[in-house]
Amino acid sequence: MKAAIIFTGTGPILILTTYEALDHPTLVAKLKAKGITKYIASEVPLEKVKSRYGNHYQVVLGDLRQSDDLRVMDYNGYNVFHTFTFSEMSKPIYFEPPA
């Protein structure tokens, strides 16, 4: 499991995923199904997510309505953006669909 901030056209979201790459074709397809077709993604340390989100982290993991390979941890862009420092984010990857 890894955690990542996905910067979208409407603001950042925090996700948990089992995919190794943040541009994995199946992850891209799942994000597209949620209306996200172009994004910038940076991994953040899973331990920091656990400590900062506390019990909410466990609740999201236990939510049976979401699939095992992608879970939205936080969709409040302001909260996501201010919960992590830039130094905690990995080098970003940029994804946009082919022209």
pLDDT at 47: 95
- pTM: predicted TM-score of the whole model, two decimal places: 0.90
pLDDT at 69: 84
Question: What are the helix and strand counts (H, E) for the chain?
Answer: 4, 5
pLDDT tens for 52-77 read 999 999 888 876 455 568 899 999 99
pLDDT tens for 3-62 read 999 999 999 999 999 898 999 999 999 999 999 999 999 999 999 999 999 999 988 887
Q: Is 36 helix (H, G, I), strand (E, B) or coil?
A: coil
**Geometric angle at alpha carbon 65, from 62 and 59, rounded to 5°:** 25
End-to-end CA distance of the chain: 31
Residue 11, H or E segment:
strand 11-17
Q: Cα separation of 21 and 85, whole Å?
A: 21
